[in-house]
Amino acid sequence: MLPLIRLTPLVCRTGREANFTIDCPARNDMLVSGARYRIHVKSKVSTSVEKQLEGVMTVGNKLIFLYEPPICGEYAVILTRNDQPVETFHFFALSEEMARYRPYVGDLHSHTTYSDGKCSPGFRIIQARLLGLDFIAITDHRRFPPCLEAAEFAKANGLDILVVRGEESHPDYPGGHIVAIGIQSPVDELKLDALGNQAQTYIAEHAAIVKELEARSDLVPGLKRELYAQTLWHIRKIHAQGGIAVLAHPYWVSAERFDLDREIWHQCLRDGEMDAIELFGDVKPEDNSLAVQRCMDHLADAGRRYPLVGSSDVHSAKLDDNFGRLFTIVFAEEPSESAVIEAVLAGRSVACEELDGQPFRAYGRFEWVEFAHFLRRRFLPEHKRLCMAEGQLWYQRCFAGGMPDSVLDAVATARISLYVALWG
CB of 161 to Zn ion, least distance (A): 20
Nearest-CA neighbor of 250 among 227, 268, 277, 230? 277
Residue 168 binds Zn ion, judged by CB under 5 A: yes
CB under 5 A: which stretch of 116-124, 160-168, 374-382, 414-422 binds Zn ion?
160-168
Q: Closer to Zn ion by CB, 269 or 369: give it.
A: 269
CB under 5 A: which stretch of 18-26, 40-48, 50-58, 309-317 binds Zn ion?
309-317
CB under 5 A: which stretch of 187-195, 296-304, 313-321, 353-361 binds Zn ion?
313-321
Q: Closer to Zn ion by CB, 94 or 248: give it.
A: 248
CA angle in degrees (0–180, nearest 5) for 125-127-132: 95
CA angle in degrees (0–180, nearest 5) for 366-368-372: 115
Question: Residue of minimal CB distance from Zn ion?
Answer: 177
Residue 248 binds Zn ion, judged by CB under 5 A: yes
Q: Closer to Zn ion by CB, 315 or 378: give it.
A: 315
Mutual orientation of helices 200-214 and 225-240 as an angle, nearest 10°? 120
CB of 233 to Zn ion, least distance (A): 18
* Residues 6+ away with beta carbon under 8 Å from 139: 108, 109, 110, 111, 147, 166, 167, 168, 179, 180, 181
Q: Closer to Zn ion by CB, 177 or 234: give it.
A: 177
Is there a contact between 257 and 230 (Cβ–Cβ < 8 Å)? no
Residue 177 binds Zn ion, judged by CB under 5 A: yes
Q: Closer to Zn ion by CB, 131 or 248: give it.
A: 248
Is there a contact between 188 and 231 (Cβ–Cβ < 8 Å)? no
CB of 170 to Zn ion, least distance (A): 8
Q: What are phi and psi of 156, to 5 degrees?
A: -65, -30
* Residues 6+ away with beta carbon under 8 Å from 350: 308, 310, 328, 329, 330, 362, 363, 364, 365, 368, 369, 372
Number of residues that bind Zn ion (CB under 5 A): 4
Q: Closer to Zn ion by CB, 165 or 177: give it.
A: 177
Residue 313 binds Zn ion, judged by CB under 5 A: yes
CB of 313 to Zn ion, least distance (A): 4
Binding site residues, Zn ion, CB under 5 A:
168, 177, 248, 313
